[in-house]
Amino acid sequence: MKIRKLLSTMALSALVASNAFATEPVKVEWGDVIRQPWGDPSDPEGANVCSWFQWGQDLWFDYNNDGYPDRFLIGGKHQDLGHAYLFRNEEGSEFTNIPVNIPKLEIAGAVVLDFDNDGIMDLYVQGKKVIDNGEGGQNRENYTAIWRGTGDPDNPFEHAVQQEIDELGIGESEGQHRGYFCAAGDYDNDGWTDLFMTGWARKDESWHVILYRNNQGVFEEVQNPVGEDGEGIDPFKTITTGSVYLSDLNKDGYLDLIVSGNDQTNGWVATTTIYFNNGDGTFRETTQQGFFEGQKSGTTFTADVNNDGYPDILEFGDFKNSDTETNNTVGNLYINNGDGTFADPLKTEVTNLLTARAMPAIGDINNDGKIDIMIQCGWSSTDGQTETDYSLTNLYYNNGDNSFTREFLNDNTNSHESDVNFIDFNHDGALDYSISGWGPKEPNWFNRAVPNNLTSDLAMNEAPEFVSNSDVQVKQDGSDVIIFWGNATDDTTPAEAIRYNIYIKAKKADDFGVTYTYTYAPASLQANKIFGTTTYDSKVAARLINSHQIRMKGFNTTDYEFAVQPVDNGNLGGKFIVANVAGGSGIGNTQVVTANVYVNNGTIIIESDSSTAYVINTIDGKQIVNGICDNKATEKVNQGIYLVKVANTTHKVCVLQ
C-alpha cells in the first residue's frame, strides 16, 4: 500500500493545534550496518581506518561523476591527529578507500562546491592542523584551503591556492569545539558558487562571518555586505560556535543567510539573525530583530515542515548566557508566514530536545511526501534518566500537522559531536542514513551507513514530472536571462513542496574546451540523479529552488542552454527539461514578470517590474481582490492569511493588525 498525502488547510490560530486528519506515520525498517573500509569496532572483521571520528564533517557527493554518491570524512577528536578519508562508492554495493593528500584536520569543517565550473566537484576545508614543533611536541595552526577535483578516480584532488582565504581559520581558544561553520551557494545568481565562512581571522585577531564572492574562479572578500539598495555599510554579526545556513526563505530567487551563535559584539549572548538577500549583492537584517530566541552551540536550519513551499526554521542548541540560568538549551520551530516573517515558535518532539551541538539530517524517508528529521545530539542533559531517554540520536517522523512522532534508535546510532546524513547511496529510491561521532557506551566511536529497507507499506518513490514540458522556458532580459517553468506533479510530495534544480550549459566549448557550465544542485544530466546531501543542506553547495522562476545574471539565450528538473521531498529528481526560448519554437511570446509581495501595517503590497494582473484569495480559496499592478499596488485587508497570485507565482502572506 502506498502512503498517500493528506492535505489540509490551517489558519494562523490553528498552527499549534493537533490536526485530526494527520495519520500515524509508517516507520522505516532499517537494514544491517554495511561492513565497509571506514571500520566499525563492533565488527571484528572491520578495518579500523577511521577511528575516533569526532568534531568533523561527513559529506556525500559524486567526486568521479560515475552516478553514485561517494563519502568524504574529515575531522578528529581534540588532541588527536584527525582524519581525512575518501571512500569511493562502487555502484552502491561496497566502498573503496581512496588515498587523498588533504591534511588530517582536527575540529574540521568542509563544504562541497564546483568553484571553477568544470563539472567536477571540489572541496573547501577548514580546521586545525597538527604540526611537529621540532621539540618532540605538537603545535596547532589554522588551516583553510580549496582542493580542486581532478576527475581522476584514483587521484581525486589537487591543492588550489586562493588569495586571502588562508587568513580565515578556526580559532584555538578554549571552548571552540566546532570547526564546520561554512556554507556555499550562489548568492548573486551569476553562476559561480560563493563561500560563507566563520572563524578566527589572524589578520585582526577577531571572530568573523565573511562572504567571499566567486569572481569566475577567483575569490574576493566582500566588504560590509549588509545594507539597503546596494550600499553595504555593515558587516555580518561576529559569532563563535553556532552555525551559518543558506536558504531562499522568501522565494524571491536569491539565497538568504541565517547566522546563529555566540554574538561577540553583544556580550557573547546567544543569537539568531536572518539576513535577507537584496538581489543586488547586499543583505538586510530581518524586520523581526530580537524575535528569535537564539542559540550559541548548535544548529539553526530550514525545512519545509508543512509542505507549503516556504522553508521553515528550526533552531536548537545551547542557550545558557550566564551561570545563573538553569535551562541551558533551546529548541524552536518557526513556521514561515510567506511574507518574510515567521510565526511564534512552536515546541515539538524535535525541538523539545535537551541538547546542544546537534546536527540534522532532513528528507522524506518513508515516501509519504512529508519531510522527516534525524537529530544527532551534541550532548544531552538527561543524565540520570533512563537509557532510552539518554539516546543521543533519534528519528522524528513528520505527522503532517506541525508535530512529529519520535522513534528511539538503537545503540548503534547513540553518538554525538559529529554528523548525520540522509542519502540514497544504493540508488534504490529510498533515503538511507550515515552517522559518525562519539558515544557514551563502548565502543565509544561510531562510523556507519545503514540502508533503508523498503517494505510493502513503503512503495518505491516515483520521480516527479512536469505537467507540460513546454512550460519550461527562458527569456532574455537585457544582460540577464529569466528561466521560468510551470507546475510539476509527484506521487506523494504536494505540488507546493516540489523544488527545482537547473543547469546552464555552454553551447560551444570555451578556450579550455569546457562546455559544461553550471548545475545548481549536483546531478547527472544523463541519468537525472541527484548527487549529495542536497535537501535543505549547506554541506553540499546546492540549491533547489522553491519558486517557479529565477533570474541568472550575465547569460544569454544564444550561447547557453538551460534546463529545469523537478525534485521531490525524497530528494529524487525527475527528468531535466531543456527550456524553450520564449517567443520561439512555436511558443507564443511570453512576458516574464518579476514580482515582490510583502505586508506593512495591515496592507498587502505588490511590486512588479512591469504591468501584471494579481488575485488575492483567502486561505480557503475565496477571492477577495483582483487587479492590475503597474509597478506597485496596495490592498488593505483584514487580519488573516492570504494567497496572492501574481507573475505565475503564489505568495502566502500573514496580515496582522
pLDDT at 541 > cutoff 60? yes
Which range among 35-39, 521-525, 532-536 shows the weakest confidence by mean pLDDT? Answer: 532-536
Q: The dihedral of CA 569, 574, 576, 580: what is its sign? A: negative
Residue 279 has pLDDT above 70, yes or no: yes
Q: In this predicted structure, what is the pLDDT of residue 513?
A: 59
The pLDDT, as a whole number, for residue 531 is 67
Q: Is the pLDDT of residue 84 over 70?
A: yes
3-state secondary structure of 271: strand
Q: How many separate helices (H) and strands (E) can be counted in the chain?
A: 1, 50
Q: Which residue has the higher pLDDT, 323 or 641?
A: 641
Confidence of residue 655 (pLDDT cuts 50, 70, 90): confident
pLDDT of 186 strictly over 90: yes
Report pLDDT digits (tens) over 289-332: 889 888 877 788 999 999 999 999 998 877 766 656 655 778 89
Percent of the chain residues past pLDDT 90, beyond the cut: 28
The three cell numbers of residue 502 are 537547473
pLDDT in tens, 89-104: 998 888 998 989 888 7
Average pLDDT over residues 583-605: 63
- Using DSSP, state whether 471 is helix, strand or coil: helix
Of 18-32, 171-185, 236-250, 251-265, which range is least confident?
A: 171-185
pLDDT, mean over the chain: 78
Q: Which residues pair with 511 in a beta bridge?
A: none
Q: Which of 47-51, 224-228, 564-568 has the lowest mean pLDDT?
A: 47-51
* Contact by Cβ (8 Å): 361, 415: no
Instruction: Please give the pLDDT value at position 519.
Output: 79
Please give the Cα distance from 615 to 454 (Å, whole number). 43
Q: Highest-confidence range of 332-346, 598-612, 617-631, by mean pLDDT?
A: 332-346
SS3 at position 498? coil
Report the pLDDT averaged over residues 142-146.
84
For the chain, what percent of residues have pLDDT higher than 70? Answer: 77
Q: Under the phi-then-psi rule, with left for phi > 0, alpha for psi from -120 to 50, and beta for the rest, what region is 408?
A: beta
- Pick from 428, 415, 407, 423: nearest CA to 379: 415
Residue with cell 509581495: 597
User: Is residue 73 within 8 Å of residue 53, measured between CB atoms?
Assistant: yes
- Of the candidates 80, 81, 147, the one whose C-alpha atom is nearest the C-alpha of residue 114 is 147
Q: How many whole angstroms separate alpha carbon 61 and alpha carbon 537?
A: 13
**206 pLDDT above the threshold of 50:** yes
Does the pLDDT value for residue 336 go beyond 70?
Answer: yes
What pLDDT sits at residue 299? 84
Of the listed ranges 3-17, 292-306, 337-351, 550-564, the least confidently predicted one is 3-17
pTM score, whole prediction: 0.82
Residue 64 burial by CB count (10 A; 0-12/13-18/19+): exposed, middle or buried? buried
Q: Per-residue DSSP letters for 144-171? A: EEEEEE---TTS-EEEE--GGGGGEE--
Structural contact between residues 535 and 363, judged by C-beta atoms closer than 8 angstroms: yes
pLDDT band, residue 139 (cuts 50/70/90)? confident
What pLDDT is attached to residue 539? 72
